[in-house]
Every structure is written in structure tokens, then in C-alpha cells.
Amino acid sequence: MLEQARLAAARSVNTILTATYWEIGRRIVGFEQKGARRAEYGKRLLERLAQDLTYRFGRGFGYSNLNLIRQFYLTYQCRHLILQSPIGELSKGIPQTASAIFPLSWTHYVRLIGLDDEPKRGFYEDEARRAGWSVRQLDRLINSMLYERVALSKKRENCLKKRRALEIS
């Protein structure tokens, strides 16, 4: 019972962090960059923002992480249903809605945003969610080119069934 409670708590925290990172990315693009994919002064902006956030909140807001957060928003901006409330009201109702919109961990999404092909990214996201893949499993299957093998397979469903059977055993 305690292990299940701890796992549920960790998932809730991760869901809220992922939704918050999406919102931070939205604000970087929307407010700081005035909607442009990249502000002319983008690197300086993120460096300054990284300094400010690190000073105020501590680790986790360095330039590279803010760049990932910004890229996360740009990659998943169509999922705008999450947060319509001001940032100060983040805790109200997020776990229910955000967990449906972002069912994977932040680390999963960091790995997925590196995939340029949207159908490929969608395939891995769907399979990771459905099968409960860890980030390590997701990484291994991306590197083994599962998407390409399934796409090339004439018997796509059989290929997926074999892959799923391996997950069970």
C-alpha cells in the first residue's frame, strides 16, 4: 500500500512539473519572445532568465534546461488545454487534466522532443504510455528503430504483437 501511494505521489508531482514546464515554455515563447519561434536575442534572454530563476528557485533552471522547456512547449503547443489559469493558480485542478494531456514523465518528453518526425514521436509516445515503458526502455526502442521496423513491416500488427509479447515475458 505504501509503495503504491509513493508511486502515485511521484506521478502526481511529475505531472504537475511537466504541466508547469509547458506553461513556462508558453510564457517564454508568448510573452518574452512575443510569439516568435526564436527571439533575435533568444540566447541572451534564456541566459538571463536562467540566472534569475536559479537565483530565486535554485537548481533546475539553467540555460540548457530552459531551452528544453521552451522546445517542449514548441513541440507540444497544440496541447494548450492544460493551463488557462494564471501561474499562481497552478495547483487547482491540474493533476486530473494534465495527466490526461501529458501521461509520461518529464524525462520521457525530453527524449521525445529530440525526434523531429511528428508521426514517429507520436508512435513512441503512444507506445510508451500504453506499455508503461521506462525512459531507459524508450531510449532502447528508439535506438533499435522500432518505429521504422514497424512502418516497413508488411505485417505491422504481427510485429507489434511480437514486441508486446516480449514486454510481458
* Domain segments of the chain as ranges: 1-103, 104-169
| pLDDT value, residue 110 | 94
Grid coordinates in use for 93?
A: 485542478
Rounded to an integer, what distance in angstroms lies between the CA atom of residue 86 and that of residue 106? 21
pLDDT for position 73: 92
Q: Are 124 and 138 in contact (CB under 8 A)?
A: yes
Using CA atoms, how far apart are residues 168 and 89, in angstroms rounded to an integer?
41
* Gap between the Cα atoms of 42 and 124, Å rounded: 30
Q: Which three cell numbers stand for residue 22?
A: 509547458
Determine the Cα–Cα distance for residues 42 and 37; give it in Å rounded to an integer.
9
Position 149 pLDDT exceeds 60: yes
Q: What is the pLDDT of residues 19-40, one digit of tens each?
A: 889 988 888 888 766 655 555 5
Q: The cell 518505429 sits on which residue?
A: 147
What's the pTM value of the predicted model, to 2 decimals? Answer: 0.74
3-state SS assignment for residue 154: coil
pLDDT tens profile 108-133? 999 999 998 899 999 999 999 999 89
Split at pLDDT 50, 70, 90, the class of 155 is: low
Cell reading at 114: 529530440
pLDDT above 90 for 143 = yes
Question: Is the torsion defined by CA of 103, 108, 110, 113 positive or negative?
Answer: negative
Distance between CA atoms of residues 68 and 17, nearest Å: 14
Does residue 16 register a pLDDT over 70? Answer: yes
Q: What does the pLDDT average to over 38-61?
A: 81
The pLDDT tens digits for 69-119 are 999 999 988 775 544 444 445 444 444 466 677 889 999 999 999 998 899
Give the pLDDT score at 78. 79
**Cα dist. 67→7, 37, 44, 92, 114 in Å?**
29, 12, 12, 27, 12
Query: Looking at per-residue confidence, does 15 or 43 come out higher?
Result: 15
